[in-house]
Amino acid sequence: MSILEIENLKTHIPLSRSVVRAVDGISFVVESGETLGVVGESGCGKSMTGLSIMRLLPNGGRIASGSIKLEGQDLVGLRETSMREIRGNEIAMVFQDSLTSLNPTMTIGEQIAEPVRLHRSATRKEALDRAAEMLHLVGFARARDQLGVYPHQLSGGQRQRVMIATALSCEPKLLIADEPTTALDVTIQSQILGLLDELKERVGMAVVLITHDMGVVAGRADRVCVMYAGKIVEAAATTSLFSHMRHPYTQSLLGSIPRLTQDRDIPLYSIPGIPPDLSDPPVGCRFAPRCAFATAQCHAEDPELSGTAGHLFACWHPVDGPVTLSRQSPTTNGSRQTMSAGSTPTLALDDVVREYPVTAGSILQRKVSSVKAVSGVTLTVNSGETFGLVGESGCGKTTLGKIIVGLETPDGGHVEFSGTDIASVPRRALRSFRRDLQMMFQDPVASLDPHMRVGAILKEPLITQGIGSRAEQDDTVHELLTQVGLPHSAVERFPHEFSGGQRQRIGLARALILRPKIIVADEPVSALDVSIRSQVLNLMKRLQVSYGTTYVVISHDLAVVKYMADRIGVMYLGKLVELGSSDDIYARPAHHYTAGLLAAIPEPDPSRRGATIPISGELPSPIDPPSGCRFRTRCPAAQERCAVEEPLLRAFGTGHLSACHFPLEAPL
């Protein structure tokens, strides 16, 4: 039975001098109990499709033509009063950013209860009872006690669970999940997606899962629609799409994903260019300007969506199956010369501790506890290598990165750079000392001054350090822009005028401008489309060879870190729980937390659908971490010893250390 039928839907967003054709003639059907995945890069019309179904378009936006039928009822011509009865009741939506989607002035209990009171005419008590029931259903412990909590008091994963609870409170027939796990930890992402699957089966609803991640739809969707530039370019059952994809765009999206089995010496496949401007789309096939197979016909004629009933595609020159190594870029990432084991490391951390005080009292601020962000971390990083640091949000990775570059001062232990203790460097010499230690921040929007042009942003470090004349500084900026793949004209533009991937390139250029010896890259690609992510990762590798830079790459994604890093450190709640080569960590993990992170990675392989994830529950508070082994509250192998005795790092091979009483591998 069809729950949703969309026929030739066109959605237009007017601008001052043009019209954006955000959705341009798409058609699909969603059956009862089915999950339909909608994938594509940002700006391809995925979210606008969801908003069109909900009739929640931005100001001025309108459905120009087509139909949206919910169980036979066309929603396009409905009055707004009638649509309000359907939203939240028969159709619900989980939005991408839970922090901005939830009302910060209302408790989560009131927000979940609100649609129940509106659509089911429930009393306040009945609605709150339903809210407690839904919180329990989405995995909240002591659900009734959480009703009075505000959104800012919850973690990202918990807020996303509240969004799902709110959307499902009236048991809708259709749920639209718009990037429900973007930028979440892989463990939380897996829990959220598993929860959606479980609830779908329990209440029998249909799901439209919108994402840019092919790995997410591979494990969760029954069928997949691939969107590009407002159109559907391929649609098929999930297994058919991944094994016999026909459109080059689908092939390129899959080829752009770093795999755990990826050869680190071969660059990731990346799609050249960016999606077209939908206010002025190109003639012919809209993917032709970026397609390696495009011919004159592709640039002149727009292919229709055709094929067999079960597998449709719009391409004049279809492919057959995933990208092969022969399609990879002919260039190599180059080789790095890392220091030998007996050499003095560029960076050495010895028993580093960082805690933040927790105070009480409105007038007399007194310390009542502390946030234990980093607790006794010891590691070394060699010249020219890439060291990966992985773990969930809140495990202390970013704090450790800031300590490395001198933005945070440790409360205990030592950080040595080229044999010099950073804490012992005189203040007057610290500025020049920091030239060699730079940081690439996770959010380029927040880290780039919106009031400064890109040229001024890049020149500022040169001016501060007194390096070169004005002409030499301009030459350095232009040279670096070329290196990161941006035009010289970028110097006259502001950060907001660039795409997310371009801003990340600017952030990399800003970190490289002083030719530092070490760059700490904090989640450099976590919120980027897979195609842009591969471009940035390839660029980082290529520039490392050119500049001889040492990287410390911080991420919660082990697939990205394995592709980038020579060695990997795994952090959990302020502690380093495993350390080894990328091959050791991937092929022979000794710690149960490492194995859980690996298992949680959404592989673009439908055969892994429904794989169990060994990590459950939320990260404990760093204010009061568990006794003994800090991972024991979530560990499937925990025993009494784990609660009373803290495990120490011990050897599981040359350079392979892990802190676990009951490891997955036998120690030496």
Structure tokens at 255: 């080829």
Structure tokens at 299: 């640039």
Written as one string, the DSSP assignment of 4-46 is: EEEEEEEEEEE-SS-EEEEEEEEEEEEETT-EEEEE--TTSSH
CA 88 – CA 94 distance, rounded (Å): 10
Residues 387 and 530 both lie in one domain: yes
> For tokens 């450190």, what's the residue?
569
pLDDT at 533: 82
Picking from 317, 117, 191, the residue whose alpha carbon sits closest to that of residue 596 is 191
Residues 585 and 558 both lie in one domain: yes
User: Cβ neighbours of residue 87 under 8 Å, at least 6 residues apart?
Assistant: 54, 55, 56
Residues 371 and 317 both lie in one domain: no
> For tokens 């341009």, what's the residue?
24
Residues 262 and 405 both lie in one domain: no
E-strand ranges in 115-271 read 174-178, 206-211, 223-228, 231-237
Residues 323 and 351 both lie in one domain: no
Specify if 287 maps to a domain. Answer: yes
570 with 391: CB under 8 angstroms? yes
Specify if 133 maps to a domain. Answer: no
Structure tokens at 74: 């066309």
Say how many residues make up the chain: 668
User: Cβ neighbours of residue 450 under 8 Å, at least 6 residues apart?
Assistant: 494, 495, 496
Specify if 380 maps to a domain. Answer: yes
Residue 491's identity, in one-letter code, is: V
119 with 89: CB under 8 angstroms? yes
CA 397 – CA 391 distance, rounded (Å): 7
Structure tokens at 570: 């795994």
CA 629 – CA 349 distance, rounded (Å): 22
What distances in angstroms separate CA 369 from CA 355, 360, 362, 574, 619, one per listed residue?
10, 9, 16, 16, 18
Specify if 392 maps to a domain. Answer: yes
Residues 413 and 526 both lie in one domain: yes
Picking from 273, 313, 300, the residue whose alpha carbon sits closest to that of residue 289 is 273
Three-class DSSP category at 154: coil
Residues 565 and 641 both lie in one domain: yes
Q: What is the DSSP letter of 489?
A: G
CA 231 – CA 315 distance, rounded (Å): 12
| Spatial strand order in the sheet of 420-421 | 366-381, 347-360, 412-417, 420-421
**Cα angle, residue 481 at apex, residues 477 and 485 outer, rounded to 5°:** 175
Specify if 651 maps to a domain. Answer: yes
Q: Does the predicted TM-score (pTM) go above 0.95?
A: no
pLDDT at 611: 53
Considering 279, 299, 332, which residue would you say is the last residue of a domain? Answer: 332
Three-class DSSP category at 448: coil
Backbone angles phi, psi at 501, to 5 degrees: -65, -40
Residues 554 and 652 both lie in one domain: yes
Written as one string, the DSSP assignment of 318-373 is: ---SS--GGGS-SS------PPPTTSPPSEEEEEEEEEEEEEE-SSS-EEEEEEEE
pLDDT at 198: 82
Backbone angles phi, psi at 100, to 5 degrees: -90, -15
| Spatial strand order in the sheet of 518-522 | 437-440, 518-522, 550-555, 386-390, 567-572, 575-581, 656-658, 650-653
Positions of the chain with pLDDT under 50: 325-332, 334-342
228 with 44: CB under 8 angstroms? yes
Three-class DSSP category at 377: strand
Specify if 578 maps to a domain. Answer: yes
Specify if 296 maps to a domain. Answer: yes
Residues 528 and 638 both lie in one domain: yes
CA 61 – CA 539 distance, rounded (Å): 38
Specify if 337 maps to a domain. Answer: no
Residues 265 and 403 both lie in one domain: no
Picking from 220, 196, 218, the residue whose alpha carbon sits closest to that of residue 92 is 196
pLDDT at 264: 85
Rg over alpha carbons for the chain, rounded to the nearest Å, is 26
Domain with residue 353: its CATH number is 3.40.50.300
Written as one string, the DSSP assignment of 587-635 is: HS--SHHHHHHHHHS--S-GGGTT---S--SPPPPTTSPPSSSTTGGG-
Range of the domain at 271: 248-332
Residues 328 and 369 both lie in one domain: no
Considering 297, 332, 367, which residue would you say is the last residue of a domain? Answer: 332
Buried/exposed 568-580: b ≥16 CB within 10 Å, e otherwise: bbbbbbbbbbbbb
Considering 332, 362, 383, which residue would you say is the last residue of a domain? Answer: 332
Three-class DSSP category at 390: strand
pLDDT at 328: 44
pLDDT at 115: 95
User: Cβ neighbours of residue 457 under 8 Å, at least 6 residues apart?
Assistant: 448, 449, 495, 506, 510
Cα four-point dihedral sign 485, 489, 491, 496: negative
Structure tokens at 46: 């995925």
632 with 617: CB under 8 angstroms? no
Alpha-helix runs per DSSP H in 236-295: 238-243, 248-255
242 with 303: CB under 8 angstroms? no
CA 570 – CA 276 distance, rounded (Å): 40
Containing 53, the helix (H) or strand (E) segment is helix 46-54
pLDDT at 502: 83
pLDDT at 282: 92
Residue pLDDT, tens place only, 441-491? 877 777 889 999 999 999 999 998 899 999 999 999 999 998 888 888 899
Residues 567 and 644 both lie in one domain: yes
User: Cβ neighbours of residue 297 under 8 Å, at least 6 residues apart?
Assistant: 284, 316
Structure tokens at 7: 């026929």
483 with 540: CB under 8 angstroms? no
CA 237 – CA 311 distance, rounded (Å): 7
CA 262 – CA 247 distance, rounded (Å): 23
What is the total count of domains within the chain? 2
